[in-house]
Amino acid sequence: MLPFKLIYHDRYDLNLGSHIFPARKYRLIRQRLLETGVAEEADFLAPCPARDEDILLVHEAEWVKRLRTGTLDYLQLLKLELPYSRQMVEGFWLAAGGTLLASQLAMTQGAGVNIGGGFHHAFAGHGEGFCAIHDVAVAVRAMQREGRLRRVLIVDCDVHQGNGTAAIFTGDAEVFTFSIHQRDNYPYEKPHSHLDVNLEDGVGDEEYLRLLDEGLAKAVEFSRPEMVQYVAGADPYERDQLGGLNVTLGGLRARDNLVMDWARRAGAPVVVTLAGGYAEETADTVAIHCATIEAVARALVGGHAE
């Protein structure tokens, strides 16, 4: 049995068919974790959808209304890049509830993993890049409102900059946003995070890990976090269709180790959301996400993922 719960819901799979965003990966991650013996059925916990009052801590009422009523206009749908459906909306509300639940459990377990979430391109008043609701921001604001914590470090290792994260927390002295990403990739307008590491095309393991380590050292020093929210995108992978970096599977495992090591040095619980991943073979994306979960498990029991 894992030392933390895995938050998962069957409705994370939005049934998008041939869409580039492989929402079926969530179901496949659960299946692989069970088949490989990493997790047992008892390790999984289903979330409730986030309450609208929690969503509204981050998002504008008009955007929430449009999502709820299916009244998005053409430009909003174009930016979101997902077909609208009630199932899609329900999936985002469940993901936000899942990240909040993972955050609440992390305070006592030392870590929480939402097999889903990490929708870092969502802004307060609109969605972008397959992201309608910013589950991480919702969880942070709800936890702050409850008085559970104040200072949070968001570590975003997706290949794409967390533009929604940066915009939502601009000027916030208690939420430090750190994004390491490919510079010449989506999004093309990048609001400033508190710390951005803009990578050149083709960066591989050695340079990626060096810059990540340097960035984490600065971010932990400045933020003094009471919680680390780790957006663990699989798309820095060398065979990702929407990425342009050359990070190997081994490099991604080392990345996960670094994040967990720095969180442990800070004495902060870690909340993991899995964010993007668009490998040519979906099985590669699934394997990367599962390796992240295994790294968290080993870190909690005092080991180090190889």
Spell out the residues 6+ positions from residue 48 whose beta carbon is closer than 8 angstroms to its own: 94, 97, 101
Residue 145 CB coordination number (10 Å) = 11
- 1 within some domain: no
Q: Label residue 17 by pLDDT band (50, 70, 90).
A: confident
Residue 161 placed within a domain? yes
CB 245 within 8 A of CB 203: yes
- Mean pLDDT, all residues of the chain: 96
Q: For the segment 215-237, what is each residue's pLDDT rounded down to a tens digit?
A: 999 999 999 999 999 999 999 99
DSSP 8-state code for residue 128: B
pLDDT at position 303: 52
Q: Within 13 A of 12's CA, how many CA atoms are on the CB side? A: 31
Please report whether residue 180 resides in a domain: yes
The SS3 of residue 80 is helix
- Describe the chain by its helix, strand, coil percentages, rounded to 5: 45, 15, 40
Domain with 186 in it: what CATH number? 3.40.800.20
pLDDT above 90: percentage of residues in the chain: 95
How much is the average pLDDT of 155-161?
98
Does 172 map to a domain?
Answer: yes
Q: Give the pLDDT confidence of 249-269 residue by residue, as tens digits.
A: 999 999 999 999 999 999 999
Question: CB neighbours (10 Å) of residue 247?
Answer: 27
Q: How many residues does the chain have?
A: 306
306 domain-assigned = no
For 72-115, the pLDDT digits (tens) are: 999 999 999 999 999 999 999 999 999 999 999 999 999 999 99
pLDDT for residue 20 is more than 70: yes
Residue 68 falls inside a structural domain: yes
Number of domains in the chain: 1
Whether residue 305 is contained in a domain is answered as: no
pLDDT for residue 306: 43
Q: Which domain holds residue 149?
A: 6-300
User: What is the predicted pLDDT for the residue at 161?
Assistant: 98
Place of tokens 């993901």: 95
Q: How confident is the model at residue 293 (pLDDT cuts 50, 70, 90)?
A: very high
Q: Between these two residues, 157 and 18, which has the higher pLDDT value?
A: 157
**Minimal CA–CA distance to 299: which of 141, 86, 113, 173?**
113
104-129, pLDDT tens digit by residue?
999 999 999 999 999 999 999 999 99
In a domain, residue 87? The reply is yes
Query: Is the distance from CB of 165 to CB of 136 less than 8 angstroms?
Result: yes
**Nearest partner of 6 among 140, 127, 117, judged by Cα:** 117
